[in-house]
Amino acid sequence: MGLLCLTISASIAFAADDAEDAAAKPDVPSIYLDLRTTYATIPAGTLGLGFGNTSLSAAFEALAARRGATLPNGLPAAKSIAVDLPLTVDVSERVSLYGGVSGSTTDIGGGWSTFDITSWNIGVQADLYQQSGGKIPTITLQTTLTQSVPNEPGMTNSFNNVLEFDYALDEDETRGWLAGVQYTHTGIASSFAVIRPNTILYAGGYYQWPSNWKFTGRLGMQSFGGAQIAGRTLAESFTQPILRFDLDRMDDNDNRLFGITAQIAWMPKPSYQLTLRTPLYAVRN
């Protein structure tokens, strides 16, 4: 509720700044189900970490907290499929609200588990400043709260915050440079388990062709503080590289029609992740 109140206040402030252009903006916001399907391989002894994958991480964090005492050799290597279903509303060109549920199925060596709803999330993304042809880059803040389900001992709450700087090299913003930081803090409803914060510092760039295909690349360093339960180490701390590539098909108004993301994160063994993004629009502007 606090996020919603802050976002409403921010959208009112942004609307006041853009009053001169109000006539050119649509009266109805874009509304869509931002369907994302992710397949990931996760090495033994670590969690589902990386860029923005809080639902995948929540599933493994809850697994670690609930089953830590029965895993004498720590977390095993795993494969996972996660589906995110956040309903997204683009309140304005600067502010988006989203919230929904996520489900996953996991294979830790004995076959795939039953597909279950494993978390819900709510969040906001806002442009704190827009470049608009100037010299100062666009500054975007994204905050997401993710809670694992069911609500029982071992439940986790994750706050994922991304601050990104986007410096466009042309007026149409079809090419430019990126830099940012992602910080994730996780709390566990258990007095004998702890998951320390995860931080990613990254830089990259993007290019959009006249055909509206857009490529984005990010290279960064991920630093994870580790996870312990009942005095035992379930996931070691590490500081290792992370690489992400995005290929998106946009329309003439920069609405995403289709996207595919490939990620490699060393933990320190490599973890591979592939995400298909297929938005389902109810209203598109």
Domain housing 102 = 2-23+33-283
pLDDT of the residue at 7: 45
Q: Which residues of the chain have pLDDT under 70?
A: 1-27, 53-74, 153-154, 190-191
Neighbour tally for 75: CB within 10 Å: 21
Residue 247 domain-assigned (yes or no): yes
Alpha-carbon dihedral angle through residues 5, 165, 120, 232, given to the nearest 10 degrees: -120
pLDDT of the residue at 8: 45
Q: Where are the alpha helices (DSSP H) in the chain?
A: 2-17, 54-67
**Distance (Å, whole) CA 254 – CA 273:** 25
Residue 193 domain-assigned (yes or no): yes
Residue 177 domain-assigned (yes or no): yes
Classify strands 213-224 and 78-90 as parallel, antiparallel or unpaired. Answer: unpaired
Domain count, the chain: 1
Residue 28 domain-assigned (yes or no): no
pTM of the model: 0.85
Look up the CATH number of the domain holding residue 45: 2.40.160.40
pLDDT of the residue at 169: 95
pLDDT of the residue at 61: 62
pLDDT of the residue at 23: 45
One DSSP character per residue, 70-103 reads G-TT-SPPEEEEEEEEEEEEE-SSSEEEEEEEEE
pLDDT of the residue at 54: 65
